[in-house]
Amino acid sequence: MRGPFFWPVPCSSIPKGLLHSWITGGSYPVSLPKEGCNVENLTEEKVTKLGMAPLYVLYLVASAYVAPEKINERHVVRAMEYGLSWRTPFSEGIFELLRSHLHEFYAEFPHEYNDTFSESLREEILSIKELLTQLSGPVEMLDDYKSALCKLAAFVAAGGAFRKEISDAGMQAQVDWIAEVFG
């Protein structure tokens, strides 16, 4: 499941009460905050991997414009606060987990940038796509999650994380690739 470069956030980094309140039963279905949302086959490792996906998207798109080491926590917070939007409780639960514990997720995100950084991010995003195909749940909820990642990519490419308008072909190429992966 894991890509070759990144690791899921250790479950110990995230308050146990939060994940354990979501995960119940033998097959680990996750009951998210609102009625009518039940996705099966979702473990703590998968939840944390899905929670890391917006960081992979942000870094992939933004690092086409600036060096990845110049993407700081302020850019991450801005992207997560203003660039993530969703319609379903499944996406809400995953993204609110990320937002509520952003410092823990950010601290676990590897900040070792090398020549294969972008390729490693792409492999992680492909592993997210694979993970989503293994989940059992309403198609609309899984599609909403994918759509939210695509919208986040577009937000970053438009300059939202940097608080300025940007029109960059490299960033747009990453947005197009993400849309193709999740389309």
Q: Report the pLDDT value the prediction gives residue 167, as an integer from 0 to 100.
A: 92
Report pLDDT for 37: 52
Other residues' Cβ atoms within 10 Å of the Cβ of residue 146: 19
User: Mind listing the pLDDT tens digit of every residue in the chain (183 residues)?
Assistant: 333 334 344 444 444 444 444 443 333 334 444 444 567 778 888 988 999 999 999 999 999 999 999 998 899 999 999 999 999 988 999 999 899 888 888 888 888 889 899 999 999 999 999 999 999 888 999 999 999 999 999 999 999 999 999 999 999 999 999 999 998
Handedness of CA 88, 90, 91, 92 (dihedral sign): positive
Domains identified in the chain, total number: 1
Which residue in the block uniquely carries the two structure tokens 């809400």? 92
Q: Which pLDDT value is given to residue 8?
A: 41
Range of the domain at 29: 11-182
Q: Quote the DSSP letter at residue 31.
A: E
Residue 30 host element (H or E): strand 30-31
For residue 5, being part of any structural domain is answered with no
Q: How far apart are CA 147 and CA 125, in angstroms?
A: 13
| Structure confidence at residue 104 (pLDDT) | 87
First to last CA, the chain: 20
Residue 3 lies in a domain: no
How high is the pLDDT of residue 108?
Answer: 82
Nearest partner of 53 among 83, 107, 4, 8, judged by Cα = 8
- Predicted confidence at residue 38, as pLDDT, reads 60
Distance, in Å, from the CA atom of 150 to the CA atom of 84, rounded to the nearest integer, reads: 9
- Domain annotation covers residue 4: no
Taking CA atoms, 139 is separated from 4, 19, 55, 112, 142, in Å, by 28, 23, 23, 36, 5
* Distance of alpha carbon 68 from alpha carbon 50, whole angstroms: 21
DSSP assignments along 36-96, one per residue:
T-EEBS--HHHHHHHHHHHHHHHHHHHTTTS-GGG--HHHHHHHHHHS---SSHHHHHHHH
